[in-house]
């Protein structure tokens, strides 16, 4: 399959997809940050969860591969250090007590390099707390996107690999192979109401699945999105609301 980088729209992310950060609040509880701890927020986006972690008194550094996201985070939370950095190439002078990552690692197709990078930047005994898309995540949306693109002759686009959604056993094995001890892990359903009740699937794909439409003329994209949305209506729409069929992995591991 073809792999393509996703381009992020920080304004759209906060405006219509703030549920990503809101659902991460519960993950901060699992992290249980303490005053004085050094914590890395890996894939911090626009900084909301980094700010929430910092309220504990922890020293937080947020990193994201998107300069647009980091720019908005720096404006919103100037007291926190934010840096543009890839999950597969983390470089810091001092290791962290914890690495926190919400809804990020399924974007990293080079998963072993990301795990290695995280491991190297944790102190012995340090913890990794993560949530990411698991096996079957947004399956109806993905399958119907590929079907519609194929139907219209966009074969390379249909074959694009945007995400990595592993099983619990698969990802836990990768962590253990690198030297982590997995202390808690769950793979659970988390159906998610999308913010736009009229064009929820179209907006979701615009935000998160735009890589599927690379090199397709902009004038042709709205009709494709509408066709995808209608194709998932039987499974992802009810009571005048659109839902994403989310399935998540949540893991706590220590070095």
Q: How many residues in the chain? A: 255
Q: Which domain holds residue 86?
A: 10-137+163-194+245-254
User: Which CATH number do you get for residue 89?
Assistant: 3.40.50.150
Which pLDDT score is estimated for 25?
84
Domain count along the chain: 1
Position 46 in a domain: yes
pLDDT (tens digit per residue) in 58-105: 999 999 999 999 999 999 999 999 999 999 999 999 999 999 999 999
What confidence tier does 23 reach under pLDDT thresholds 50, 70, 90?
Answer: low
- How high is the mean pLDDT of the chain? 91
pLDDT beyond 70 at 1: no
pTM over 0.75: yes
% pLDDT > 90, the chain? 87
Position 142 in a domain: no
Q: What is the DSSP track for 35-53?
A: TT-EEEEET-TTSHHHHHH
Give whole-number Cα distances, 72 to 14, 48, 198, 217, 252, in Å.
10, 10, 27, 29, 29
Measure CA 47 to chain center.
14
Q: What is the DSSP track for 148-199?
A: HHHHTT-HHHHT-B------HHHHHHHHHHHT-EEEEEEEEE--EE-S-TTT
Position 152 in a domain: no
Cβ atoms of residues 187 and 249 within 8 Å? yes
What confidence tier does 10 reach under pLDDT thresholds 50, 70, 90?
Answer: very low
Position 29 in a domain: yes
Bridging pattern class, strands 38-42 and 96-102: parallel
């Amino acid at each position: 399959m073809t792999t393509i980088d996703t381009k992020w729209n920080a304004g759209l992310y906060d405006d219509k997809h703030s549920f990503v950060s809101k659902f991460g609040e519960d993950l901060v509880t699992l992290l249980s940050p303490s005053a004085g701890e050094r914590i890395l927020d890996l894939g911090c986006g626009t900084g909301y969860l980094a700010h929430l972690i910092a309220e504990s008194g922890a020293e937080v550094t947020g990193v994201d591969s998107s300069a647009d996201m980091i720019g908005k985070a720096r404006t919103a939370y100037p007291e926190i250090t934010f840096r543009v950095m890839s999950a597969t190439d983390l470089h810091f002078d001092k290791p962290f007590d914890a690495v926190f990552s919400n809804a990020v690692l399924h974007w990293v197709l080079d998963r072993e390099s990301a795990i290695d990078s995280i491991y190297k930047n944790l102190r012995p005994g340090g913890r990794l707390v993560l949530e990411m898309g698991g096996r079957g995540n947004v399956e109806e949306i993905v399958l119907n996107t590929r079907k519609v693109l194929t139907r219209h002759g966009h074969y390379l686009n249909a074959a694009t690999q945007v995400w990595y959604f592993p099983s619990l056993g698969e990802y836990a094995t990768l962590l253990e192979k690198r030297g982590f001890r997995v202390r808690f892990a769950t793979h659970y359903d988390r159906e998610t109401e999308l913010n736009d009740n009229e064009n929820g699937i179209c907006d979701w794909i615009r935000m998160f699945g735009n890589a599927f439409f690379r090199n397709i003329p902009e004038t042709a994209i709205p009709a494709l999105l509408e066709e995808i949305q209608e194709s998932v209506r039987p499974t992802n729409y009810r009571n005048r609301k659109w839902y994403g069929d989310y399935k998540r992995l949540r893991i706590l591991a220590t070095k």
